[in-house]
Amino acid sequence: MATWSLVQVALSLQRLLDRRNFCENRAGMAAGARYASGNGRTAIEPGMNTDPSRHTKRVATSSSEWAAEADDIRRGMRLAAELNKLGIDDGRLIRELFGELTGQPVDESFTLLPPFYTTSGRRIRVGHKVFINQCCTIYDLGGVEIGDLVMIGPNVNLITTGHAMAPSERRKIIESRPIVIGRNVWIATGATILGGVTVGDNAVVGAGAVVTHDVPPNTFVAGVPARVVRQLEAGEDRDVSSAACAPAAL
């Protein structure tokens, strides 16, 4: 039997600890926990079950509820079209229109580079120092919550809605599930996040990934469907400024 060095033993123990932490994170999310941060640490906040089946909303396209939604979608798309007439030097006007679109004012730390596409817009909530690059799409009928310090690269899609899987219902039912993006998350170019997903604090979603399941905090996920590639060092730069979010970096 080969003799293991102290370094090999230490590395093996670290891998076991990383795996245990990952499993604990997944168990916490499945049990109804939401990821939130405080004092530079990542913690599990009870009270939100992220199981997609618990949050799926189904609306018949023949219903009065969907007729009202359709009117709101037309409103949102008209406002988005006005926003997309603006350029990179129109930050104040972009923030004003985005606030009108969502029904919630955003502060001067918010940056969005048009064009931007959405459905209603009323169910989008953004935190402090959020950066959204060009050509992003947020279909928000299920609700989209974006935490502080989030960076979203170009051509990213956050899609909360879809059609029923059953062929007999596909044109008759619209289904929606919420998306929650935690604090200090980076979503790289071309990634797609589907309804029912919670992305934990400090996570990174790789370019072109398709995210169909929850992402634990402090992890890097990539691929189709997205899977955890590795753990990331916990913590964040609390001194980051919105000016640090250069378009070329995302």
Catalytic residue among 55, 128, 163, 213, which?
163
Q: What is the DSSP string of 46-82?
A: ES----HHHH-EEEETTSHHHHHHHHHHHHHHHHHHH
128 as an active site residue: the answer is no
Q: What is the DSSP string of 189-205?
A: TT-EEETT-EEPTT-EE
Calculate the CA 226 to chain-centre distance: 13
Phi-psi region of 107 (alpha: psi -120 to 50; beta: other; left: phi over 0): beta
| Six token digits for residue 156 | 């990213």
Which residue type occupies 128? H
Q: Taken in order 159, 19, 233, 222, is the CA torsion positive or negative? A: negative
Residues 97, 115 contacting (CB under 8 angstroms): no
Q: What is the DSSP string of 4-50?
A: PPHHHHHHHHHHHHHHHHHHHHHHHHHTTEEEEEETTEEEEEES---
- Cα end-to-end span (Å), the chain: 49
d(CA 21, CA 229): 14
Return the active site residues: 163
